[in-house]
Amino acid sequence: MDGVIALFKERGMTSHDCISKLRKILHTKKVGHTGTLDPNVDGVLPICIGQATKISDLMMRSGKVYRGAITLGIAYDTEDLDGKVINQQPIERPFTASQIDHALSKLTGNIQQIPPMYSAVKVNGHKLYEYARKGLSVERHPREIHITYFKQIKPTIFDNERRTQTIYFEVACSKGTYVRTLAVDFGKLLGVPAVMSDLTRIKSGGFDLSQCVTLAQVNTAVENDTLDEVLRPLSEALRHYPVYSLDETRWKIVSNGGFLDESINKEQQPIVRLDYQGIVKALYQFDQKVGQYRPFKMFLLN
């Protein structure tokens, strides 16, 4: 039982809840996620099972895509709707599509972002949300993130009674990006308070919503002995890496953790997937110092 389940995490559940439930459903402790999702966010949460837990860090590095909504005219301490209102400023005149697009464009490329107080980032051995819950604020250092694109996906809605304006967006971003904070920073560019009012992750770890299954579907698959229909093999999870098929001689070298010469990939790409008899056996990484490929991730599946 080795592979990746592209799980659809439902709202109201933590990522840890999903791990705990899957361990019980699959009767295994070797289960790990590829990046947490807040309880009020749903969407793609790839789950690594068995030998695939060795690549969870690689999957976490991959870019993510979200769709959601930002409401202008109101701000919350948590930067989403789970917290308390800390600021309100009526939107007297709706922002135009061009004004919105201009502000969104300023939040693309490599930018600096300060992690929110309500986050799991650790400062002096404690998570930021632990300070926040005590009413404390601590110094946070900005981090560089990359936003591939940040765009509107449908017309805004202006609430004339509440004097708020909601925009609908899609964003492709790097690991470590807080979309909640992007929403707040977007509001700052327009000079108004803002809150992330809705969010769904539509792509992560190379998987998208169309490939996702629910916990109930995984449970049914186990009961019907059809787990292979929902458990994606390592070869699919690692499909983006160049592949080299090992012969008998090189398989013996790899099975003993030996190095391979650069002929397995003449372009000297950083990481190469090694298959033997159609089964993923390892990932090898190019070592510039010795000019050879060395073991990076070993699976050695039967």
Active site residues: 38
Instruction: Give backbone dihedrals phi and psi of 183, rounded to 5 degrees, phi first.
Output: -60, -45
Cβ(38)–Cβ(18) below 8 Å: no
Largest interatomic CA distance in the chain: 74
Tell me if residue 46 falls in helix, strand or coil: strand
Residues 6+ apart with CB under 8 A from 149: 108, 170, 171, 172
Three state DSSP letters for 260-274: EEHHHCCCCCCEEEE
Token pair for residue 31? Answer: 């289960």
Q: State the first-to-last Cα distance of the chain, in angstroms, to the nearest integer.
A: 12
CA pair distance 302, 280, nearest whole angstrom: 10
Residues 6+ apart with CB under 8 A from 101: 151, 152
- Roughly what angle, to the nearest 10 degrees, separates helices 15-26 and 215-223? 0
Laid out side by side, the sheet with 271-276 consists of: 243-245, 271-276, 279-287, 292-298, 260-261
CA pair distance 219, 22, nearest whole angstrom: 8
Positive/negative CA dihedral, 105, 108, 110, 113: positive
